[in-house]
Structures are given as structure tokens and as C-alpha cells.
Amino acid sequence: MSFSFASNLDDALFYIGDTITWTVLITNRSAADAPAFLLTESGNDPSFDRFGKYAEWLEIPSICTVADGSIGYPYDNGLVCAIDSVPAKSTKSLVFVTKMRADALDIIPGGGIPNPWFDITTPVEGNYVVLDNSSNAHNPIEDVLTDSDGDGVSDFNEALVGTNPNDASSLSTRDSVIDVAILYTQVIYRRYLSFAISHNLILTI
């Protein structure tokens, strides 16, 4: 069998409170049905910065339960999913919807949120797998207004264009695109149309 994992996080930044959807695909390419096994997510591992420290599960498959840590592993806020069987030449899909806790911003590690850490406990003991975007740090933010260097551009927007949020003199090397919506009445339109014509200006609306 093979396992693939993905999330709907496309950007390096996301808002605290936004939901994250994780998809686990379990594919059996053999000609025989795969036996039942457990797929577990480690939860709030006291030794590592695991996903369970920072997130809550909003939606889980009916075959999964959230662990309370009373049996040791998986730890508190981990998952236990009982995979009944995977028929030959077929794929099973498990979808989990999570949300980062609002109080997690100050304790999330600097490299971004950790991904869920899944463990196939049966029949292959200790076969650990992590989501396929685990090398891409996703950093949650709580506000988009803070402007550390006082240059009129928020830290959030400076991160998007690649400038230094602590240096007012730093400049972006990327082109910026600004969308502007203009609302007008016919009276204003006729007044400025007359002005544009009398001054040989090009007016496009």
C-alpha cells in the first residue's frame, strides 16, 4: 500500500482561526485486499512540537476518534483511525478539518506549524509518515495591521512582497499590482469628460 498526504495550504502565511483541510489517500495497488490496520496521529507529544499542541479537530472521519492520552500513545488530542480494509486496486480517502487555536500564536515554533504525524501501527509497526508539504513552513498570523518600521506598510504586506518589516528603507524588487475601484455618478462622469476633452486627455471608463 502507499500513502499520500496533502493540505489546502497554498501560501506561506495564513490567519489564526482559518481552517486547514488535510487529505490522506491510502492506495492498495496489489491484487489482494489489504488487511485491517490502525492509522494514528501522535497528538500532543510531550517530547516534540507536535500538531496536537496547537490545533483542534473540527471534522474527522467516522472511523476515527480523538484520543485523550489516557492510554499513553497516541497522546492527548491525537487520533486513532480504524481502517477496516482496503480492497485490491482501490484508494481510500480520509479528510480531516482542523483549526489552529487562538492562543497558539505565541507558542508555535518559529519554523511554522508542525504537520500531523501519522503512524501505521498495524500491520507495519512504527512506519511513520508525515504530510508531503512538511518541508514548507506555514506561519500563522493574528493581525495584518502592525507596522514595526513605521513606513506605512504593515509587516504582513511586507512579508508578501519580500521587504524587511523592521527597515523603513527596504524596497521591494517585485512589481506591485493595485486594484482600484472607482464609483461615480453620471453628473461626475459628464463633468470630467468635458474637462478631459478640453485638455486633450485620454479618459477610459
CB-based contacts of 187, cutoff 8 Å, min separation 6? none
- Calculate what percentage of the chain has a pLDDT beyond 90: 14
Neighbouring C-beta atoms of residue 51, cutoff 10 Å? 27
Give Cβ neighbours of residue 39 (< 8 Å, ≥ 6 apart): 24, 26, 79, 81, 83, 94, 118, 119, 120, 121
Helix, strand or coil, per DSSP, at residue 123: coil
Q: Would the pLDDT of 95 be above 50? A: yes
Nearest to 149 by CA among 172, 169, 170, 165: 165
Residue that is written with C-alpha cell 499520500 in the block: 4
pLDDT at 82: 92
Higher per-residue pLDDT: 188 or 103:
103
Torsions phi, psi for 183 (to 5 deg): -105, 135
Distance CA 137, CA 165 (A): 19
Which CATH architecture describes the domain 2-141?
Sandwich (2.60)
pLDDT recorded at residue 205: 52
Average pLDDT, rounded, for the chain = 77
Tens digits of per-residue pLDDT, 121-146?
655 444 444 444 444 556 666 667 78
30-87: pLDDT as tens digits: 888 888 888 888 888 887 777 788 888 999 999 999 999 888 888 899 999 999 888 9
pLDDT reported for residue 65: 95
Chain-centroid distance, C-alpha 97: 11
- Note the pLDDT of residue 165: 84
- Residue type for position 49: D
Confidence of residue 11 (pLDDT cuts 50, 70, 90): low
Looking at the predicted structure, is the pLDDT value of residue 106 above 50?
Answer: yes
Q: Where are the domains of the chain?
A: 2-141
pTM more than 0.85: no
Q: Tell me which amino acid residue 134 is.
A: S
Confidence of residue 202 (pLDDT cuts 50, 70, 90): low
pLDDT at 142: 65
Judged by average pLDDT, the poorest of 99-108, 110-119, 147-156 is 110-119
Q: What is the pLDDT of residue 58?
A: 93
In 10 A of CB 99, how many CB atoms?
A: 16
Peptide bond into 123 cis (omega under 30): yes
DSSP strand pairing (79-83 vs 64-66):
antiparallel
